[in-house]
Amino acid sequence: MSTTQSRVALVTGGSGGIGRAVVRRLASDGFDVAVHYVGNAARAQEVVEEATATGSRAIAVGGDVADETAMAEAFDAVQAELGGVDVVVNTAGVMVLGPIATFDLDALDRMHRTNIRGTFVVSQLAANRLRRGGALINFSTSQTRAQHPTYGPYVASKAAVEGLTLVLARELRGRDVTVNAVAPGPVATPLFLDGKDEETVAGFARLVPLERLGEPADVAETVAFLAGPARWVNGQVLFTNGGLV
C-alpha cells in the first residue's frame, strides 16, 4: 500500500455538506483530493482551495454520477492529474420525502437515478480503477433501521446501496480493496434541514441519546477511518448516528 502522503481520494458530492467535510478531513490526513460536483463549479473550487491550503494537491471534476461516460472522464482526469485513485467516497445523493401511498413516481425515478444508478456507476468504475490497498466508501442512511414515516422512497434507494456494497466487497476478493458503507443519522446539512421547521429538527435531535444532530465532521471521521487505518473492516455498513438505532 502506498504511503499516506501519496494517496489520492475522489469524493463525489465533494462540494456538499458531508462531502466538503470529508475532503477537509482527508486533506488533513495528507491525501490528495478530487472534489466532484454537479452544477456548482464555484463552490467546488472553494473546497479545492481549502484542501490546497493544507498542502494537498486538489482538483475539481464535474459530472452526473449516473452518467457512466461523464464519470469515466472524471476518473480519467483524476488519474491524469493526481496519478491514480486509492479511495472513492461516494457522498452524492438526493433525498425526497413523502408517504409511499401518494409519492410522485417521477420524483422516485429522479431520486433513484442518483442514489441507485449513480452509486452503481461510481462503484463499477471504482472496482476497475482503485489501486491495491484502496477503499470504496458508499453512503446509506440510518433510516434503513429507524424507518420513520415519509422516508420510505429514500430508504428504498439506500437499501439498494447497502446490498450493492456488501456484494461488491465479496466480488473484489484478492484485490486488497475494501468496500463499505456509512449510514449517517440526522446530520445538520442543507440536505437534511431542507423543508424542516425548528420543532421538527429539535425532535430529531431529541431522538439521539447524545441529544444533538450530527455534524458533517462527525461523519468525516468515520470516512477517514475507513479510508485509512481500517483495513480489516470490509463488507460492512457503519451506522454513524450517535446511538439513534
> Of residues 37, 75, 103, 154, which has the active-site annotation?
154
Residue 201 half-sphere exposure toward CB, CA atoms < 13 A: 14
- Give the contacts of 97 (CB within 8 A, at least 6 positions apart): 150, 151, 153, 154, 195
118, three cell numbers: 449513480
37 among known catalytic residues: no
Q: What span, in angstroms and rounded, lies between the C-alpha atoms of 106 and 90?
A: 24
24 within 8 A of 53, measured Cβ to Cβ = no
Angle, CA 143 vertex, CA 10 and CA 149 arms, to 5° = 140
Residue 3, judged by CB atoms within 10 A of its CB (0-12, 13-18, 19+), counts as: exposed
24 within 8 A of 55, measured Cβ to Cβ = no
Residue 209 identity (one-letter amino acid): P
123, three cell numbers: 462503484
Q: Is the dihedral of CA 183, 185, 190, 195 positive or negative?
A: positive
Phi and psi at residue 125, in whole multiples of 5°?
-65, -45
CA distances from 173 to 139, 179, 182 (A): 21, 11, 21
Catalytic residues, which ones?
A: 154
